[in-house]
């Protein structure tokens, strides 16, 4: 039992540090146990003195799933008696893709404590720190009683018209959804099957890996981004990899969680040079922060293999309402629209989104203010300890990397949580973070000060 628990602890550690495959050496006498646990033998044998080992391998997600299916109830019993010194939780979260958002739990499962949102700092999710345009707030609060009970325009025609006008693209090049998550799930499940080949960057927004690997079950390759290259996509290296001829390539630009942006002109060159059978999904959730001229929406209308997905959640402060759109050639859009259920975007979301799009100056001012708050937050965090590495993203977050040898990202997140400050441990997203990087969303000045105070206290070892 102890041996199996140690193996379980190793698996949890690997998963929580973004590991995707394990390689293991196991004594041949115990081979049947390893195989039963889900490891696969490579057939290669290594001898050391009198002992023979088999070289084995396994997919971390599969091993974890199999372990929980078989031993879930035993593990839950053991959890009560094991002294678990790891920073990683004993049991993983549920089967869904792990996101930030633990802060929302403060509201209570049945929303009994809605006012608690004032007491916590939700820097684990990238929701806007500012409210939506006052016009949207007024429209909703003035009519919530009838808005709540009224069916929205079935295809969100008014919202599509407003998007077309504001973005300068034809209406038939736009499809809408209840957040980009809705569009990602609908489009990917329509386009891909288990024989499809997909390329993701590593690191990348985690939902993409979840959908392609665990919902569709595709073959997925990773294009590694490197800390020492500033997490930048190297266009030449990327172009070479694209020659593999993928069915779908996802590029989050600016990237979450690295916060790094690839210039639109460079990206267009990459797309032009790629095999024509490869479809690109460009996620521009944070593109508002890098300014006009950096969106590929207009390019996507003309190209027949590029789709730009744009969330209204973060840039327009509408995360709770759920609204997003994608821009592509009319033939791609027609397909996505066919797969869209009626009333996909709620009436409050449609009303607020239209009002938001009509108030660009309000948002431009908030985005500029975000840049100032971000710089202040980064400077204050950097001032805590010279061993910390703080990198400012181009969007509404900063990355804080802890020095080797001290507290890890999971420990920092856990201890800040006890102070009502929620941060995001990036370790499970990619092994490239080496368990040392947390992502911190920009909030208002007072909340940012709470973040800095909490991080400083934890790092100084205040209990
Ligand atoms: C890069 C990226 N894409 C998509 C989403 C999903 O956004 P939503 O479903 O709210 O539109 C997020 C949310 O964090 C994100 O960071």
User: Given phi > 0 = left and psi -120 to 50 = alpha, else beta, which region is 38?
Assistant: left
Distance 291 CA to ligand 1 centre (A): 19
CATH architecture for segment(s) 134-359: 3-Layer(aba) Sandwich (3.40)
Fold of 2-78: Aminopeptidase (3.40.630)
> At 357, is the pLDDT very low, low, confident or very high (cuts 50, 70, 90)?
very high
At 324-352, the pLDDT tens digits run 999 999 999 999 999 999 999 999 999 99
Residue 51: in which H helix or E strand, if any? strand 51-59
Q: What is the pLDDT of residue 462?
A: 66
Q: Look up the pTM and report it.
A: 0.91
Give CA separation, 79 vs 5, 15, 82, in Å.
10, 18, 5
Q: Where are the beta strands (DSSP E) in 365-432?
A: 389-392, 397-401, 421-422, 424-425
If you average pLDDT over residues 228-234, what whole number do you get? 94
Pocket lining for ligand 1, CB < 6 angstroms: 126, 179-181, 205, 252, 256, 283, 285, 311, 313, 319, 324
- CATH 3.90.1150.10 placement within the chain: 102-129+362-459
The CATH number, out of the four listed (3.90.1150.10, 3.40.50.300, 3.30.565.10, 2.60.40.1180), of the domain defined by the range 102-129+362-459: 3.90.1150.10
| Ligand 1 nearest-atom number relative to CA 125 | 14
> At 88, is the pLDDT very low, low, confident or very high (cuts 50, 70, 90)?
confident
At 187-201, the pLDDT tens digits run 999 999 999 999 999
- CATH 3.40.640.10 placement within the chain: 134-359
Burial pattern 83-112, b for ≥16 Cβ within 10 A else e, equals eeeebbeeebeeeebbbbebbbebeeeeee
- CATH 3.40.630.30 placement within the chain: 2-78
At 410-454, the pLDDT tens digits run 999 999 999 999 999 999 999 999 999 999 999 999 999 999 999
List CB contacts of 290: < 8 A, sequence separation 6 or more: 254, 261, 394
If you average pLDDT over residues 251-274, what whole number do you get? 96
| Ligand 1 nearest-atom number relative to CA 126 | 14
At 243-258, the pLDDT tens digits run 999 999 999 999 999 9
Lowest mean pLDDT among 11-15, 176-180, 297-301, 374-378: 11-15
Distance 420 CA to ligand 1 centre (A): 24
Burial pattern 395-408, b for ≥16 Cβ within 10 A else e, equals bbbbbbbbeeeebb
Distance CA 377, CA 441 (A): 10
């Amino acid at each position: 039992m102890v041996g199996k628990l140690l193996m379980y602890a190793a698996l949890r550690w690997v998963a929580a540090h973004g590991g995707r495959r394990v390689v293991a050496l196991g004594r041949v006498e115990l081979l049947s146990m390893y195989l039963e646990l889900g490891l696969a033998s490579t057939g290669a044998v290594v001898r050391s003195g009198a002992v023979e080992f088999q070289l084995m391998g396994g997919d971390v997600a599969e091993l974890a799933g199999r372990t929980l299916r078989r031993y879930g109830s035993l593990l839950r019993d053991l959890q009560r008696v094991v002294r678990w010194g790891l920073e990683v939780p004993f049991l993983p979260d549920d089967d869904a893709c792990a996101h930030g958002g633990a802060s929302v739990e403060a509201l209570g499962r049945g929303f009994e404590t809605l006012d608690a949102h004032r007491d916590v700092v939700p820097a684990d999710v990238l929701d806007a720190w500012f409210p939506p345009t006052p016009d949207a707030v007024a429209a909703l609060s003035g009519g919530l009683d009838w808005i709540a009970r009224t069916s929205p325009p079935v295809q969100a025609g008014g919202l599509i018209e407003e998007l077309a006008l504001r973005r300068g693209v034809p209406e038939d090049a736009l499809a809408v959804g209840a957040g980009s998550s809705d569009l990602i799930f609908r489009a990917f499940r329509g386009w891909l099957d288990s024989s499809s080949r997909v390329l993701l960057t590593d690191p990348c927004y985690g939902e993409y890996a979840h959908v392609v690997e665990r919902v569709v079950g595709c073959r997925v390759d990773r294009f590694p981004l490197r800390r020492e290259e500033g997490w930048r996509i190297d266009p030449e290296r990327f172009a070479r990899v694209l020659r593999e001829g993928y069915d779908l390539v996802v590029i989050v630009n600016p990237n979450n969680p690295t916060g790094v942006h690839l210039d639109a002109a460079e990206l267009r060159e990459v797309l032009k040079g790629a095999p024509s059978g490869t479809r690109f999904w460009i996620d521009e959730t944070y593109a508002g922060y890098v300014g006009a001229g950096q969106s590929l929406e207009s390019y996507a209308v003309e190209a027949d293999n590029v789709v730009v997905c744009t969330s209204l959640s973060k840039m327009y402060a509408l995360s709770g309402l759920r609204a997003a759109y994608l821009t592509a050639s009319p033939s791609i859009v027609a397909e996505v629209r066919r797969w869209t259920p009626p009333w996909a975007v709620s009436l409050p979301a449609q009303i607020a989104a239209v009002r938001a799009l009509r108030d660009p100056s309000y948002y431009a001012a908030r985005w500029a203010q975000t840049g100032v708050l971000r710089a202040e937050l980064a400077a204050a965090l950097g001032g805590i300890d010279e061993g910390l590495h703080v990198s400012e993203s181009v969007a509404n977050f900063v990355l804080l990397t802890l020095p080797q040898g001290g507290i890890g990202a999971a420990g920092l997140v856990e201890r800040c949580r006890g102070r009502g400050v929620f941060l995001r441990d990036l370790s499970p997203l990619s092994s490239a973070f080496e368990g040392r990087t947390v992502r911190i969303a920009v909030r208002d000045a007072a909340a940012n000060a709470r973040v800095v105070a909490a991080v400083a206290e934890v790092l100084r070892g205040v209990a």
